[in-house]
A and B are shown apart, each in its own frame.
Chain A
Amino acid sequence: MTLISVHCFLFALAVILLYFVLPKKWQWLVLVAGNLYFYISFGLQYLFYLLFDALISYGAALAFDRMNQTAVKAMEGMDAAGKEEARRQLLKRKKRLSALAIVAILFFWILIKYGNFFLSNLQSVLSFFSAPWRPGMLELILPLGMSFYTFHAIGYLIDVYRKKYPAEKNFLKYFCFVSFFPHMIEGPFSRFDDLGRSLLQQHSFSYERFCQGMARILWGVFKKVVIADPLASTITIILSQYQDYGGIHIIFSLILYSIRLYADFSGYMDIVCGFCRILGISLAENFARPYFAQSVEEYWRRWHITLGRWFRDYVFFPASMSRAGTRLSKWARKKWGAKMGKLIAGYFALIFVWTATGLWHGASWTYLVWGYLNLVVIVISMQLADFYARCRKKLSISDSNRLWKGFRILRTYFLVSLFRFFGIAPSLSAAFSILKHGITDFRLGAVTNTSGFFVGMFREEILFMGIGVIFLLVTDILQETGKWEKFKEKSPIPLRALVYSVMLLLIVLMSKGADVSQGFMYANF
């Protein structure tokens, strides 16, 4: 079942109907049934991994709670030293259990997602040393949403470990959260104290919410079908047959790729957020107009927000506050002063964050390079922040200067688009070949032949896609400047209805078949 298909539409309709028709106390059970149906529609065998992760995280979280309660009882009547020792023992046991549980949860995910990456590298090493034996490759398929539910389970486990909230006693209620189908394919990364509670609350039907949800779903489908899908062929053709094109075409295809990825990913988010809005469930937002970011660091605070937060809470903070992180910080403070001492622990933690971010997106060296490019630019801009500030002061450029802002937005857009090149290249060697070709055969003269940039697309598709991009840009500008709500309120109803109708008509015209769209890009990560 693909998200934009008749099957999925009927499924979503059935969930909405049952959710509001059945007694409210059963609403979360409707969601559990929906989650199971959705997941099983992709293959019953994959349910094993989901249940395994859910059971391990559920059981470990309950054990943490029990350990805490037992320790509190045991500590009653103890002196301060005894309490301290009991606390130390409790922490030790919890750490041991959490490590075990996290390893168990990560085991299958790492095996399936990274097994072949590890084996192919091992093969290369063994072949370099002319070893007589080479390992074979694994034939495993990454189950749908595994990267997401694995992280949901770990996040929940760590939160309960940190006593952020108590463990959920009812397994089905916890399962409702961890397997919630709208966030299963591409996220967002949700927290149990946020989404989990919202899922378990009772909701009444609201016509206003229904209209808002439907409008958002329509907008999401529009972005996916009218903007993202038509661009796929152009990007694929230029990057796969790069010898036939110049550097300017390659750069242009990367710019288009950024548009496509944004339309595709944010389109998906609009669809699932719209669906949740109809049900009254609040789902975390994943985008805040990322292409208006003025630096790479800001971009990552606006793009895939929930992933960034997940890494911040569960990788960055633990790494920066780890023993190694604090030692490094102390050493740097002694050597280069207080400021550097503060920054160096962050840099240390960022290495883990960007290694994890790169590998999370794909098990290949290209994604690692992509992650490290982001890391390098972020570290350089943090390191040179004072220098840049002095330069701006000397040149009398204020931060509110529109031209300066525009320049920074464009610069960030180009940088993140170029970095993505490493993410989409099939291999590092291919990436360098394309780069070399792009530099040595730039073909600046081709800029006059615009049709050469949209290879594989019909004139009509370019036109509609262009209309879509303008729609997207205008709404993003209005939202960024805080004028969106006012603009919507001021527009007369017939005009708004006309816009929605045109969007619907364009979706129909640009759709590919009964299952109207290609799969979502981020579902592969």
Chain B
Amino acid sequence: MPLFILVFFLLGEYFLGRLLTPVNSAVYFRDEIRKMKENGEHADILFLGTSRIYQSVYPEILEEKLGVKYVINGGTATQRPDSSYIFLKDLYREVKPGVVVLGVQWSSLMPEANEAGEIESTLMMYDRLSASGRMECLLRKFGSSVWFDLFPMYRYRKEFRFASIRDNLEKWENYRKNGFIPNAELEQYYHGKGFVYSNSSKASGNVPIQDEGEARFSVDDIVPEKLAAIDNIVDFCKKKGIKLYLISPPMSLMNLYHVEGYQEAVDFYEAYAEKNGLVYHNMNYLKDREDWLPDEMMADYVHLNGKGATCFTERYAEILRKDLNGEDTGECFYRDLEELKETVRRVVAIKAEFTPGDRSVRIEANCLCNDDVTPLYRFELSTDGGKTYELLQDWSEEAELIFEPAEGKYRFRILAALDPEDPKPAWQVYDQEF
């Protein structure tokens, strides 16, 4: 009897799991790796890191520019260094990369603000692993509370709707015919070899100031386990004769101004690379940044969109080519954040806070810009959902405004610039109901 139950249950789990598992980038990624293995090919360059990697590195451009055959983007959402290590070992077994580029950012070694998210992000990486990689992940990374999540039927049980199963089956069919399925909701689609192309775009000056969590780097706060994981990656690459590069893919200018101790993070990675005989490139400091990476290249405050990724990869290909040829690339980068900031002649981003009073509301604006300039603010109001705006307060240094609203829905547009004639001021809109 128990054997019958086990057999029936496992059969049910398998079929329901198949029906419920969404066709996602992990499916495409595994298929691509499987095909590579079947053809006996190996990867020339492997990128590892977070979503900043998978939305920044466009493998086909690198292949073309560097004249190599296979570049794989192994970035996954919030991939921690220990996950990168497991992923690297697993991919090494399968595709033997000659060069590994590890994405690091200011937050890579900091304590996690959201520990609960770690399981989800690790699962995304787990889905891209081979059977032996999964076993290692299961034993090293996952506690017993996650074991159930490794069964697709359990993990995706909340998606159990007849409509979603039908939709999923259609997606599988589509995938078999066309090779990939666009994710219309996120305006993203899987572009192959691990790269995700985003169609969304920020308007100039409209990159929002990050709200969640504390954005601060300090050497004192470095999590030893995370640093040890990067050490493991370095040791592994040395042992296997893999050339390892560290890279910080670009993020919005807003973040460079917003993160406390950003330069300290850059200094730390530079020192770490030097100590271990590695090359570290902070692509945020690539010269003429304001020209080649305007806000329109960002999908959000931290990720590049497809155009941004194209532009970035073309430039990174050039840097990597020089590195591989042993040429000096130091001249291509700003020395530090200060030097970069000197080239910025605008208000980078703006944010407003609304404090309701008895019969009025206090609107307080603040912005990110260089210390040696004085920003001007402008407050506008729309009662028709943003079709037309009336002026509440014209350009002035006054960052506060008291507004007495009647009951209703309002949309406020707050702008900041160094000059009222600036064609690209920083701006944000806020919907409020009183």
The residues of A with any CB-CB pair to B shorter than 8 Å are: 6, 10, 211, 458-460, 493-494, 496-498, 500-502, 504-505, 508-511, 514
Residue contact A509 to B16, C-beta cutoff 8 Å: yes
Asked whether any CB of chain A lies closer than 8 Å to the CB of B144, the reply is: yes
Contacts known (A460-B160, A514-B145); A501 close to B5, Cβ less than 8 A: yes
- CA A211 to CA B5, docked complex, whole Å: 12
Residue contact B12 to A502, C-beta cutoff 8 Å: yes
Asked whether any CB of chain A lies closer than 8 Å to the CB of B387, the reply is: no
Task: Beyond A502-B12, A508-B151, A514-B148, list 17 extra A-B contacts (CB 8 Å).
Answer: A6-B148, A211-B1, A459-B161, A460-B160, A460-B162, A493-B1, A493-B4, A497-B8, A500-B5, A501-B8, A501-B9, A502-B8, A504-B5, A505-B9, A505-B12, A508-B153, A510-B157
- CA A460 to CA B2, docked complex, whole Å: 28
The residues of B with any CB-CB pair to A shorter than 8 Å are: 1-2, 4-5, 8-9, 12-13, 16, 144-146, 148-149, 151, 153-154, 157, 160-162
- CA A510 to CA B16, docked complex, whole Å: 13
Residue contact A508 to B162, C-beta cutoff 8 Å: no
Residue contact B154 to A508, C-beta cutoff 8 Å: yes
- CA A459 to CA B12, docked complex, whole Å: 21
Give every chain A residue within 8 A of B146 (Cβ-Cβ).
514
- CA A497 to CA B16, docked complex, whole Å: 18
- B7 CB, min distance to chain A CBs, angstroms: 8
Contact of A505 among B13, B145, B148, B161 (CB under 8 A): B13
- B116 CB, min distance to chain A CBs, angstroms: 11
Give every chain A residue within 8 A of B154 (Cβ-Cβ).
508, 511
- A161 CB, min distance to chain B CBs, angstroms: 48
Give every chain A residue within 8 A of B149 (Cβ-Cβ).
514
Residue contact A509 to B161, C-beta cutoff 8 Å: no
Residue contact A459 to B162, C-beta cutoff 8 Å: yes
Give every chain B residue within 8 A of A211 (Cβ-Cβ).
1-2
Residue contact A511 to B157, C-beta cutoff 8 Å: yes
Q: Whose C-beta in chain A lies nearest to the C-beta of B161?
A: A460
Contacts known (A6-B148, A211-B1, A514-B145); A509 close to B8, Cβ less than 8 A: no
Which 3 residue pairs spanning A and B have beta carbons closest together?
Answer: A497-B4, A501-B8, A501-B9
- A221 CB, min distance to chain B CBs, angstroms: 14
Give every chain B residue within 8 A of A496 (Cβ-Cβ).
1
Residue contact B160 to A509, C-beta cutoff 8 Å: yes
- CA A504 to CA B6, docked complex, whole Å: 10
Most B CB within 10 A of own CB, among A6, A496, A502, A509: A509
Instruction: Please list 28 pairs of residues, one from A and one from B, whose beta carbons are closer than 8 Å in the complex, sorted by A's number.
Output: A6-B144, A6-B145, A211-B2, A459-B161, A460-B160, A493-B1, A496-B1, A497-B4, A497-B5, A497-B8, A498-B8, A500-B5, A501-B4, A501-B5, A501-B8, A502-B12, A504-B5, A505-B12, A505-B13, A508-B13, A508-B153, A508-B154, A509-B16, A509-B160, A510-B157, A511-B154, A514-B145, A514-B148
Contacts known (A211-B1, A458-B161, A497-B5); A505 close to B144, Cβ less than 8 A: no
- CA A255 to CA B273, docked complex, whole Å: 69
Q: Whose C-beta in chain A lies nearest to the C-beta of B11?
A: A501
Give every chain A residue within 8 A of B8 (Cβ-Cβ).
497-498, 500-502
- CA A458 to CA B165, docked complex, whole Å: 14
Give every chain A residue within 8 A of B160 (Cβ-Cβ).
460, 509
Give every chain A residue within 8 A of B9 (Cβ-Cβ).
501, 504-505
- B160 CB, min distance to chain A CBs, angstroms: 5
Contact of B4 among A460, A494, A505, A511 (CB under 8 A): A494
- CA A501 to CA B161, docked complex, whole Å: 20
Q: Whose C-beta in chain A lies nearest to the C-beta of B4?
A: A497
- B1 CB, min distance to chain A CBs, angstroms: 5
Give every chain B residue within 8 A of A459 (Cβ-Cβ).
161-162
Give every chain B residue within 8 A of A514 (Cβ-Cβ).
145-146, 148-149
Q: Whose C-beta in chain B lies nearest to the C-beta of A497?
A: B4
- A416 CB, min distance to chain B CBs, angstroms: 34
- CA A511 to CA B13, docked complex, whole Å: 14
Give every chain B residue within 8 A of A458 (Cβ-Cβ).
161
- CA A269 to CA B144, docked complex, whole Å: 27
Give every chain A residue within 8 A of B4 (Cβ-Cβ).
493-494, 497-498, 501
- CA A10 to CA B144, docked complex, whole Å: 10
Residue contact B16 to A505, C-beta cutoff 8 Å: yes
Give every chain B residue within 8 A of A498 (Cβ-Cβ).
4, 8
- A212 CB, min distance to chain B CBs, angstroms: 11
- CA A498 to CA B9, docked complex, whole Å: 8
Q: Whose C-beta in chain B lies nearest to the C-beta of A464?
A: B160
- A467 CB, min distance to chain B CBs, angstroms: 14
- CA A235 to CA B157, docked complex, whole Å: 23
- CA A246 to CA B144, docked complex, whole Å: 46
Give every chain B residue within 8 A of A509 (Cβ-Cβ).
16, 153, 157, 160
Most A CB within 10 A of own CB, among B5, B144, B157, B162: B5
- CA A511 to CA B145, docked complex, whole Å: 14
